[in-house]
Amino acid sequence: MNIEVLTDQQDCQADVLIVGLSRQAAETTGWGNIEKRFEGRLNGWIENGLSDEVKALTEYPALTGEISRVLFIGLGERKELTEDTLRTAFGLAGQHLKKKKAVRAAIHIDSFTSETITADNVAYLATEGIRMGSYQYSGLKTNAEEGVFPEEAVLLTSADAEETAAAALIGSVFADAVNEARTLVNMPANVLTAVRMAAYAEELADEYGFETEILGKQEMEERGMGAILAVNQGSVEEPRLIVLKYKATEDFSDPLALVGKGITFDTGGYSLKPKDGIVGMKGDMGGAAAVLGAMRIIGELKPKKNVMAVIASTDNMVSGNAFKPDDVITSLSGKTIEILNTDAEGRLVLADAVTYAKQLGASRIVNVATLTGGVIVALGMDKTGALTNDEAFFETFLEAAVETDEFVWRLPLTENDRKRLRKSDVADLNNSPGRDGHMIFGGGFVGEFVGDTPWIHLDIAGTSNAASAHDLGPKGGTGVMVRTLAMLVEQLAETEE
């Protein structure tokens, strides 16, 4: 995205100028310059019913030679304005710009500021919200119109130009990474196989200089990754274990591991999903998409924190070779697992993935997965569920989630839950103790392979996909947790300096 910063008194060529309108509009910094730009028509527009209701959009022809249209965004009471309201308002503006195919948009930054929201906050939220809001996935349609609008942004402000431009660039980096994660989730499973996901990860590594390790089926067999291999047994597609390393220091000390579930399609195996439940299972790699999106932000912003991404990727199919209920498998850790439910496969691939992350030296682990329907029953579709074994680490993570406004709610993991996971007559663990507390058992199972390593489990089964269009984008993949994972890395880098 090309970004230009001008003072709000300079001439500006744009398809549309975006202006914030509050009930205290006349008190806004630079409001007099906006009035001058429209040669006295502004007061007439306001008197004729221009809405200042929160997130109301009103467009007028600008009737100037330099700007085609002006889009007003209602902000309500300025003192009540929050960053989240502003982000989602810009998301709606992005959808409007997409419909209008606006290539070059100007944003009057100072008309959106408040006592608590600075010009650089607005610049960040504007590019992030607009580019997320204007996202569209056309898939394999012929004559599809792709692209995110606008391609160019002009920021009109009296604030420091360099700081404003830097904040806007970071916002666009975050949004573009979210949009790429959305595209991965939206891709059909016959297109995005485990092999193709590994190829995408290698392309990302080439772009940003990440160190890579890609394990195929043979390498997994040599290392004893029995959990991933069991899930892959019924498939004709090769599995992949993907490792990316972002090295902020030469010795790669104290790395944070971001571990993603990459099930490219989940039939449920012999514990077969019903016909209504199986549709949409191409998105069962939302955790992997979130990790890859976060790595793109990390590659762009280069924080001073070592990070590794570990993604276990395969599909879960039914065939004469597929693993079955009552099977006992041996994981990479050496722990044996009794299979009670072949549809509880995500926790199996994550078990080997977090074990491998520990073998590679991970000092902290965050795993993210579309793991259970139980999290939807417990929390609904708009909340990510979490478990942890480390209070301080989780508090730091929660600060990042609040910053990005991605709602996360922690559930308890008790010793009684662990006992139920360890209940088996034939193995160390069972993979499905019951439907009650399903989200806790799913995440708790992964925790059995983490040990004392500080760990956070994120279940995004409800939040990774939107059933309908929303303020920040269309139906389909949401790219949830991309921004929070990247923000966590930024915060760890700052606190450890």
Give the active site residue among 217, 296, 347, 483.
347
CA angle (472, 474, 478) in 5-degree steps: 65
What is the b/e burial string over 218-239, where b = at least 16 CB atoms within 10 angstroms of the residue's CB? eebeebebbbbbbbbbbbebbb
List the one residue out of 35, 40, 42, 45 whose CA is nearest residue 8: 35
What SS3 class is residue 111?
helix
Known catalytic residue at 383: no
Residue 347: active-site member: yes
| CA 89 to chain CA centroid, nearest Å | 19
CA distance 238 to 233: 10
Q: Is 304 helix (H, G, I), strand (E, B) or coil?
A: coil
What value, to the nearest 5°, has the Cα angle with vertex 184 and ends 376 and 187? 95
Geometric angle at alpha carbon 204, from 297 and 349, rounded to 5°: 90
Name the amino acid, one letter, at 29: T
Q: Is the dihedral of CA 482, 484, 489, 494 positive or negative?
A: positive
Cβ contact 285:184 at 8 Å: yes
Q: Is 345 labelled a binding residue?
A: yes
The answer to whether 254 is annotated as binding is: no
Residue 261 marked ligand-binding: yes
3-state SS assignment for residue 329: strand
First to last CA, the chain: 31
Size of the chain in residues: 497
| The one-letter amino acid at 475 | K
Q: What's the angle, vertex CA 201, arms to CA 197 and CA 205, rounded to 5?
A: 170
The type of residue at 436 is D
Choice among 273, 410, 418, 420 that is catalytic: 273
250 annotated as ligand-binding: no
Extract the annotated binding site. Answer: 261, 266, 284, 343, 345
Catalytic residues: 273, 347
Extract the annotated binding site for Mn(2+). Answer: 261, 266, 284, 343, 345
